[in-house]
Structure 1
Amino acid sequence: MKVLKLIVSAAISVALIAVLNMKMGMAPPLGKFLDPFHGFWQNSETMDIRWKQQLTADGLQAPVKVVYDDVMVPHIFAENDDDLYFAQGYVTAQHRLWQMEFQTHAASGRLSELVGDKALEFDRRQRRRGMVFAAENFIQQLEKSPQLKKVAEAYTRGVNAYIQGLSYEDLPLEYKLLNYQPEEWTLLKCALFLKYMASDLTLFELDLEYTNAMKLFGRKYFDMLYPDTVPGQDPIVNGMAQWNFEPTKVDTVKGAFAIDQFVATEKNAKPHPDNGSNNWAVGGSKTRSGNPILCNDPHLGLNLPSIWYQIQLHSPEGNVYGASLPGVPTVIIGFNEQVAWGVTNAKRDVVDWYKVEFKDDSREEYKLDGEWVKTRKRVEEIKLRGSESYYDTVCYTIWGPVLYDETFEPANGKNGYAFRWIAHDPSEEMHTFYKLNKARNYQDYLDALDHYTCPAQNFVFAATNGDIAMKIQGKFPVKWPEQGKFLMDGTHSVNAWQAYIPSTQNVHHYNPARGFVSSANQYPVDTGYPYYVYDARYEQYRNRRINQVLDSLQQITAEDMMNLQNDNYNLIAAENLPFLLRQVESLEMNEEERKIYEALQQWDFFNEVDVAGAAYFEAWFDELKTLVWDEMQGKSIALVSPSHYTTFQLLKENADFEFFDVLSTPEKENACKVIQMAFQKGVKRILSWKKEQGKEMVKWGDYKGTYLQHLARLEPFNIRNVQNGGNHNIVNATSERHGPSWRMVVELDPKGVKAWGVYPGGQSGNVGSPYYNNLLPYWEQGKYYPLLFMQSVEEKSERIIFDQTLQAK
């Protein structure tokens, strides 16, 4: 009844909000919506368990058995792969149809069809990024692989079989609230979701921001603020001896940058800067059992429904369990009876911006190598709910689509800004995961990765035979130093990418002597690697903490690895708080300042839920960044502050650095003074927070304010006050709206693989289901549940709660 009361209250609230705020025709018809036999009441807590046990669908060759366990994970048993992926599509849609469709609408720039012109700017940006263009190129490549096309088509048929059997009462609640119907699923939608993930993990480039910074501050300061590398880092692969190949050479181009003027802003256009992950594998020499253990926790937005959908896929061709992406066939992160794998974002610069010179306002032609070349125009119709369609013309050049021009976040004069993105190229990432699902050994793993392009990932691997490995895989252009770090001159074709790093020369580790491999979005490799490697935002703390712990541990157990995934040690604070405290020890403090100062002296640097020190440090550091980098604020151009690591390095080593002078004061501040000012402002911030929240005590879990947000931003369906430790740059990378979206630990025992997992949410996308967020308490408390990896459909388990049979009509 608790869930039923929640959904009644929330649904009525959302419906009333919709009626009051939506244009006529957009709000749900309340009579139909409130109908007790067909409306939102049908989305109450019993929906997941009233499915028919016998289901019929066109397109199956043989019956398929689907067994559900006690956390609503489907275990699909099919007699062939075609039926297997059909059933995966059907079952996934049964739980997550609205999420699948909403996310692909977002990817393709079609949200305005659902919510009207409030989404127009977002949709225009997606169209101008060439998201559909990228997905179309993916489908073009898929046509060349009959086997993979068959997999995607089977999945698509399964989704559509479920859609075709829906009545209004069966629709997910969001369809009823937003008053629209699901449409046919297509191969293009599968591709769109993959490209959406690519955009989320690659488009946090800073070319335009760096161009502005270079022009504003000059080369001397730019190099101090934004260095390519920093000292003391721990790359994914460290060791010059293995680079025993002849690298591909490219010519350095002089005068390639376009830094003659400030460039366009990008308001609210970036993915979350913390999109990343942790993964590692420890070899049997370091574990108590003698078996390898593999771990992965991808860090993404904390959304509802969950980003991931757990599933087991069993056929005569293989048996695999793991986390899938709703809308895409196969398992993305998981394991089978011989191997396990996981991913983290590789953070490589695969997006370059080019300044395009148009001949005139018609944008029919642009200059290239001294000639005027025709643009290829793509007219995008954006359907606006409640009003007439909006038409946007996107110009395509040899570089790619022109995102910014005089019609969208205006560029300067006759210039446009086009971007070259590797995700626009034909690719076959689906092939990689299909092969990983069926892999049996290290060579199979390497073969699977050869098909992978974007977003570049650090693929961790472990096998029951004892092998462990890490390979950084993607399609990487060979770049000369700083190529693509700034806006490039688009009038010369010589500034294009000239070659790509061969897959065999991508960074990799296989059974290293130290007994483990790991990655956490840090520098990929040491400076001995013969290619220029660059990204604007490498991780500089999580990776070192993980490696410190793994180095120190012996006789490792799965429980040890769970503890490490939930580790809340704040390495930024451990390395820098003592320095900060020394700068304020001579400061004349009031009573509140003294209390906070003494609390920080006693803090052990762990960001646990119930500690105050973590909140005090965060408030202080936030104020410090604002004061130190005030030169970046209030500008009409796009700029970005230096990294935390660089900030502290400058504070410690260059006390009189010009940027420490606070612009809003007549005095000239140095490092010590600005740290003292930030401390006092941080104390005031804490006191204001206590007053606003009505809190007597400060606890990190409250101050951080972690919450899960519904994909459609429907506030009654958000879950607030999630009590979990960690933060940015901590192994448990849980911040306000971002964190570990799936935690998995796998022990590769030859006698039978054992695995544990958890994610913040649940299997069901139905807000009225007890399986909508039933896993959240486990995740919140750092707990896991055993993953039921069945070997046959006849296997007995007390965790099985019911089953379904899909069969041909």
Structure 2
Amino acid sequence: MGKAIRWLFRIAAALVALAAAAVAVVAYLAGRSLPDYDQTQAVAGLSAPVEIVRDTANVPHIFGEADADVFFGLGYAHAQDRLWQMVVLRRTAQGRLSEIFGRRTLEIDTLMRRFGLYLAAQASVAAQDDRTRAALEAYAEGVNARLAEINAESLGRGAPEFFIFDAAIAPWRPADSLALVKVMALQLSGHLSAEVRRARLSLALEDRPGAVADLLPEAPGPGVAALPEYADLLPERPAPRRVAAAPDDPLWPVPRPELAGASNAWAAAPARAAAGGTLLANDPHLGLSAPAIWYLARLELSAGGVIGATIPGIPAVLSGRSDRLGWGLTSSYLDDQDVFLEEVNPDAPGEYRTPDGWAPFETRRSIVEIEGEAPVTVTLRRTENGPVLPPGRFGLGAVTPPGHVAAVSWTALSEEDTSLGAAIGLMYADTVEEALDAAALYVAPSQMLTVVDGERIAMKLIGAMPRRDAAHQTQGRMPAFGYRPENRWQGTLPYAANPGFTDPPGAIVGNTNNKVVDRPFPLHVSHRWGDTQRVERWRRLMQGREIHTRDSFVEAQLDTVSYTARTLLPLVGADLWYTGEAAPAGTPERRRQRALDLLAEWNGEMNEHRPEPLIYAAWMRALQDRLIRDDLGPLADDFTHLRPLFIERVFRDVDGAGAWCDIRRSAAEESCTDIARLALDDALVWIAETHGDDLESLRWGDAHQATHDHQALGKVPLLRYFVNIRQSTSGGDNTLMRGRTAGEGPAPFRNVHAAGYRGVYDFADPDSSLFVISTGQSGHFLSRHYDDLGQLWRRGDYVRMSLDPELARAGALGVTRLVPDGS
């Protein structure tokens, strides 16, 4: 017996030793891919030496004698820190993820090949101006120099993920960077899904005229962009008060409409700034991931230094500043996608109907390689309106009549896309006028550009606006027949038609994805806007004081007060707050009363440490579901986020919208008060089951955790604890510090879409400007820079955005010197 125990002990010890050795080997190999930031490296492709100075936040400051060398350095730095991210984004654009991930990503690859984004990017290379083409080529050479170094010195394949997902890394090409811009356009575009959803809703509610307008109402008012003069508002100014269903795969590139782009940006002219210089704040919102999509960098170009947020793979500072200019981006919500129902010739399935008769589909075959399996051949079809999409995607099958297929027109499919040229032009601009002129090259994704120089401010929609016929059958709100000439696009509108606001009398401009203009179709810009709520809080904060500072802009950027909660709670709970009856302890009625007591004393601040935000959010979620589930059935699953205008219309009974409160399948006639009470009970039961019975001890931050998940490894057992980042956060769907919730699954209030980058630029003292990203600069999970900036981001802190080279060198983590090969 003792001998057996000794042998078992020896075997166990041997297994432990082998496991430890295996872990050590893996750690060694993974650690080899950690970049050395303090070295001199001879590389091919440079005309003169380049210095990459890493400041204390690991932000690279790149210095070179020629601009091409600086872009080379940016490509090298991106590849040092984010090579895996770049390769995955490129493979997404190419439709080649399945070569490394297997069948899991086959749907993604086939969809991307149907769109043809990478082919359009390849064609667009020829459309670039000389400066942009030179930047693209130099950047690609910088990426490839890092790849050559990795191969020559066996640097762990450049990232630990490449040991798990083995695949050759092709050299970087200029078309790859242009393709990444188009992938970003896909991630910011939601009109295709929204058109289909509106059509499905119209079908489901065809017996209730006007009901679609309740659930999908038009954004009210004339639009908000430039604010009026401060003095004009003084008589009415409130007293100042300080107040603190796509595949479940992170690689899926098409967002649900609720997650298809957001952001905040606002600017103040010197007349509204305490220090006498212009101010600009910008925080673009995208899906959270680890690492973040954003990467901070400084480029020292011939026109001067530029610093701000880049996306690895793209050679441009997309939001940032120079000594002369600051710029920021927000999603414009321009309607730049239309779905067309193409009639197929019943006698010749290879043809479709056009205004001039039957025409053949443009058809080609594409082979998708799948890791570990036989390849799959996909037949791709296009019409004059655009690529044909399968009925199983976007719910198209539910709205496509028999004998038809669905095709999509989209500005991002342009083969003469010069958007990157506009982004590079902004880095060289000296004035607001030059910046707006440079932005004329922009095509997609459409954005609201907020720009300031030392004296002036402006905001303008940039991107190609489709030219539609005034007689369009659905005005682009829903799919329309592609053979009817009045439905087809007629090119694009001139850049001058894009709405813009320069030097307004009130000296403040801003955008929270809200409606900015109220123009009749077809100059309408959009029927669907991303915000009707945050803009009201923003307007209150901007006009609540005459003079602003960098700190007041930071305060607004981090504001967590929900205008929506303040509006809806008194309306929904009007007949519930005080019943005049004392409920016995331990009963659902007592619990409901306690919840209402907490909400009655709440100021609407979505603070992570408070219970009220969770009670409010759960109540509104349950309320909306009760209102629509009876009428929509499974289609209600498409409406997973609170629609404030819908709730307000119902409880104010606008145009008879109160009818939503009556449950159609019950004999009794329910009132809105009945539904509000039942929904609160539903919410409290859900809270008890998922977060506990003690209402006072609830924390919104426990439910509203920011989920920065690794796209490839985030669901791998054990490993996910090392690569995913979780943070308790304040804010919510409708706060300026926006933390868009998942809306589905067992944790519907997870923060999954937020400001991955925040920047505040002060041109009275430019080097006091601030910025931060939501994780860290490195994409290597063994690096101490994988999540270090994320701690600042979570607390609402920033790092200094300085163009002072001596400040960067003073606390440098390292200096990488790239010298021409052979020098």
Question: What TM-score comes out, normalization by structure 1 length?
Answer: 0.87
Cα contact 2:465–2:525 (8 A) shared by 1? no
SS in 2 for 1:77: strand
Q: Structure 1 residue 398 and structure 2 residue 420: aligned?
A: no
SS in 2 for 1:561: helix
Give 2:318's aligned residue: 332
Which of 386, 391, 407 in structure 2 is aligned with 1:418? Answer: 407
Q: Shift of residue 678 of structure 1? A: 0.7
Q: Shift of residue 578 of structure 1? A: 1.1
The CA distance in 2 between the partners of 1:600 and 1:788, in whole Å, is 44
Cα contact 1:68–1:803 (8 A) shared by 2? yes
Cα contact 1:238–1:525 (8 A) shared by 2? no
The equivalences for 1:263-302 within 5 A come to 270-271=255-256, 273-274=258-259, 275-302=261-288
Identity of aligned residues (%): 24
Q: Structure 1 residue 165 and structure 2 residue 156: aligned?
A: no
SS in 1 for 2:204: helix
Give 1:236's aligned residue: 225
Residue by residue over 1:523-543, the C-alpha shift from the partner in whole angstroms, topping out at 9 and shown as x without a partner, is: 121348982232434300111
- Sort the Cα spacing of 1:666 and 1:710 in 2 relative to 1 into closer, same or farther, 3 A: farther
Give 1:668's aligned residue: 669
Q: Structure 1 residue 603 and structure 2 residue 590: aligned?
A: no
Give 1:20's aligned residue: none
Cα contact 1:361–1:414 (8 A) shared by 2? no
Stretch moving more, 68-77 or 200-209: 200-209
Cα contact 1:761–1:774 (8 A) shared by 2? yes
The equivalences for 1:199-598 within 5 A come to 199-205=186-192, 206-218=194-206, 220-222=209-211, 224-225=213-214, 229-232=218-221, 234-237=223-226, 270-271=255-256, 273-274=258-259, 275-360=261-346, 363-369=349-355, 371-405=357-391, 412-425=401-414, 426-464=416-454, 466-479=455-468, 480=470, 482-527=474-519, 531-585=523-577, 590-598=589-597
Give 1:712's aligned residue: 712
- Sort the Cα spacing of 1:182 and 1:621 in 2 relative to 1 into closer, same or farther, 3 A: same
Cα contact 2:329–2:448 (8 A) shared by 1? yes
Give 1:757's aligned residue: 771
Q: Structure 1 residue 119 and structure 2 residue 120: aligned?
A: no
Cα contact 2:34–2:158 (8 A) shared by 1? no
Q: Structure 1 residue 697 and structure 2 residue 697: aligned?
A: yes
Which of 791, 796, 814 in structure 2 is aligned with 1:782? Answer: 796
Q: Structure 1 residue 197 and structure 2 residue 173: aligned?
A: no
Q: Shift of residue 635 of structure 1? A: 3.7
- Sort the Cα spacing of 1:328 and 1:285 in 2 relative to 1 into closer, same or farther, 3 A: same
What amino acid does structure 1 have at the position aligned with 2:107? Answer: E
What amino acid does structure 1 have at the position aligned with 2:780? Answer: N
SS in 2 for 1:91: helix
What amino acid does structure 2 have at the position aligned with 1:175? Answer: F
Cα contact 2:289–2:709 (8 A) shared by 1? yes
SS in 2 for 1:590: helix
Which of 728, 747, 755 in structure 1 is aligned with 2:733? Answer: 728
SS in 1 for 2:451: strand
Q: How many residues align?
A: 747
The CA distance in 2 between the partners of 1:352 and 1:325, in whole Å, is 28
The CA distance in 2 between the partners of 1:103 and 1:396, in whole Å, is 24
Q: Shift of residue 643 of structure 1? A: 3.3
What amino acid does structure 2 have at the position aligned with 1:625? Answer: Q
The CA distance in 2 between the partners of 1:684 and 1:233, in whole Å, is 41
- Sort the Cα spacing of 1:443 and 1:609 in 2 relative to 1 into closer, same or farther, 3 A: same
What amino acid does structure 2 have at the position aligned with 1:358? Answer: V
- Sort the Cα spacing of 1:454 and 1:222 in 2 relative to 1 into closer, same or farther, 3 A: farther
Give 2:131's aligned residue: 147
SS in 2 for 1:148: helix
The CA distance in 1 between the partners of 2:657 and 2:337, in whole Å, is 36
Give 1:12's aligned residue: none
- Structure 1 spans left out of the alignment, 5+ residues: 1-29, 240-264
Give 1:646's aligned residue: 646
Give 2:162's aligned residue: 175
Q: Shift of residue 575 of structure 1? A: 0.8
What amino acid does structure 2 have at the position aligned with 1:118? Answer: R
Give 1:15's aligned residue: none
What amino acid does structure 1 have at the position aligned with 2:789? Answer: L
Q: Structure 1 residue 800 and structure 2 residue 812: aligned?
A: yes
Q: Shift of residue 724 of structure 1? A: 1.6
Which of 762, 767, 773 in structure 2 is aligned with 1:747? Answer: 762
Cα contact 2:115–2:413 (8 A) shared by 1? no
The CA distance in 2 between the partners of 1:122 and 1:709, in whole Å, is 19
The CA distance in 1 between the partners of 2:657 and 2:304, in whole Å, is 63
The CA distance in 1 between the partners of 2:572 and 2:368, in whole Å, is 52
SS in 2 for 1:710: coil
Question: What TM-score comes out, normalization by structure 2 length?
Answer: 0.85
Give 1:687's aligned residue: 688
- Sort the Cα spacing of 1:348 and 1:118 in 2 relative to 1 into closer, same or farther, 3 A: same
The CA distance in 2 between the partners of 1:527 and 1:372, in whole Å, is 36
- Structure 2 spans left out of the alignment, 5+ residues: 1-17, 229-244, 249-253, 715-719, 741-750
Q: Shift of residue 101 of structure 1? A: 0.6
Cα contact 2:458–2:500 (8 A) shared by 1? yes
Cα contact 2:310–2:318 (8 A) shared by 1? yes
- Sort the Cα spacing of 1:797 and 1:79 in 2 relative to 1 into closer, same or farther, 3 A: closer
What amino acid does structure 1 have at the position aligned with 2:209? Answer: K
Cα contact 1:237–1:508 (8 A) shared by 2? no
What amino acid does structure 2 have at the position aligned with 1:101? Answer: V
The equivalences for 1:612-623 within 5 A come to 612-623=611-622
- Sort the Cα spacing of 1:648 and 1:407 in 2 relative to 1 into closer, same or farther, 3 A: closer
Cα contact 1:759–1:776 (8 A) shared by 2? yes
Q: Structure 1 residue 103 and structure 2 residue 89: aligned?
A: yes
Cα contact 1:69–1:799 (8 A) shared by 2? yes
The CA distance in 1 between the partners of 2:634 and 2:685, in whole Å, is 26
CA RMSD of aligned residues (A): 2.8
Q: Shift of residue 585 of structure 1? A: 3.3
Cα contact 1:210–1:639 (8 A) shared by 2? no
Residue by residue over 1:468-494, the C-alpha shift from the partner in whole angstroms, topping out at 9 and shown as x without a partner, is: 111111111233374211111122334
Q: Shift of residue 752 of structure 1? A: 4.8
- Sort the Cα spacing of 1:406 and 1:573 in 2 relative to 1 into closer, same or farther, 3 A: closer
SS in 2 for 1:610: coil
The CA distance in 2 between the partners of 1:233 and 1:622, in whole Å, is 29
SS in 2 for 1:202: coil
Stretch moving more, 719-728 or 638-647: 638-647
The CA distance in 2 between the partners of 1:530 and 1:386, in whole Å, is 50
Give 1:624's aligned residue: 623
What amino acid does structure 2 have at the position aligned with 1:229? Answer: E
- Sort the Cα spacing of 1:787 and 1:637 in 2 relative to 1 into closer, same or farther, 3 A: closer
Q: Shift of residue 181 of structure 1? A: 3.6
Cα contact 2:226–2:506 (8 A) shared by 1? no
